[in-house]
Amino acid sequence: MKQIAKHGLPSVVMTGVAVLVMVLALAACNPAGSNNTAQTVEYTDDYQHTAMVPVSPKRIVSTSPAVTEIIYALKAENLLIGRTDYCIYPPEAKNITTIGGISNLNVEKIASLKPDLVISGSMIPQKSSLQLEQMGIPLVCVIEKQQFDGLYDNILKIGKLTGHTHEADSLTALMKEQVAALKMEPHTDSSHRPGVYYVVGFGPSGNFTAGGQSFINDIITMAGGRNIAAGIKGWSYSLEALMEQDPDYIIIRREDSATFCRTTPYNRLKAVKEGRVIAIESGTIDLQVPRNLQAIQFLNERMNKKGGQ
């Protein structure tokens, strides 16, 4: 501006130049076609990582099956342009372009989709996170919470990130009403509740289950059961403890049920011998998603019947 003044340009030209500079600056901050005066907002995710995220994202990649399912539950699937190989619910999600597994994300594929936001769960590799950051692609992590009520928080967060806050408020309110209306097992004293063991993994590699500090434990309790592994921290459970506790019910993913029931020594458990193995649809209990309500209802119905199959 000083250089222009030196040549004696009229003040009206100076004013025009100043206005032009201001217009160009505003245009750079607010690209054509956008109705937002502020394109991005600072957001701190569940790992306390801060990123500048779009106010109204148009192209979202999900690297978490739970995130993908919640996006669909919020009717925000039109924003979804990428998902992992494991994001298969609802079935329509299979039509979305895949960007690989969870532990081996194809970061180049993600970049080629030109997302304005990536929403992850708790399992995104640090290397992938750093690569996305270097590419200037905003990443937000919404991780599973230890308590069942954490599901409401995650729905509200994803609602805010996708610009579907009204849908998130409505969904969480409806779910809370449904939880309150569920007819739970009548005994409040935990000693009268049937002992339950949830199978995460089994066999030579070890036995794994959900301890007391998990939303899965809350699901079992809400369904009227007593988690025999409630006293452990982490996921590892000894075979000796399982055989000694000899739970009334076994809960296991449907695809693993038959193998578990014919494998020694699990076939000696009374729940197996007496037909009280509850085979449950994958994703309804092992992911923190709205379908957890279905799992509670399903388990409650099975545990109030003579048999679990």
pLDDT of residue 53: 97
pLDDT of residue 189: 57
Task: Tell me whether the CATH fold assigned to 40-177 matches the one assigned to 184-303.
Answer: yes
pLDDT of residue 17: 39
Segments making up each domain of the chain, as ranges: 1-30, 40-177, 184-303
pLDDT of residue 25: 41
Measured CA to CA, the distance from residue 221 to residue 195 in angstroms comes to: 10
Domain at 40-177, CATH class? alpha beta
The pLDDT tens digits for 212-252 are: 999 999 999 999 999 999 999 999 999 999 999 999 999 99
Three-state secondary structure call for residue 296: helix
Cβ neighbours around 146 below 10 Å, total: 15
Measured CA to CA, the distance from residue 270 to residue 195 in angstroms comes to: 11
Measured CA to CA, the distance from residue 16 to residue 8 in angstroms comes to: 15
The arithmetic mean of pLDDT across residues 68-87, rounded, is: 98
The H-assigned helical ranges of 106-247 are 107-112, 126-134, 150-162, 165-181, 215-222, 239-245
Estimate the crossing angle of helix 150-162 against helix 65-73, to 10 degrees: 70
The pLDDT tens digits for 110-144 are: 999 999 999 999 989 999 999 999 999 999 999 99
Q: What is the CATH number of domain 184-303?
A: 3.40.50.1980
The pLDDT tens digits for 157-193 are: 999 999 999 999 999 999 999 999 886 544 445 668 9
Rounded to two decimals, the pTM is: 0.84
pLDDT of residue 192: 81
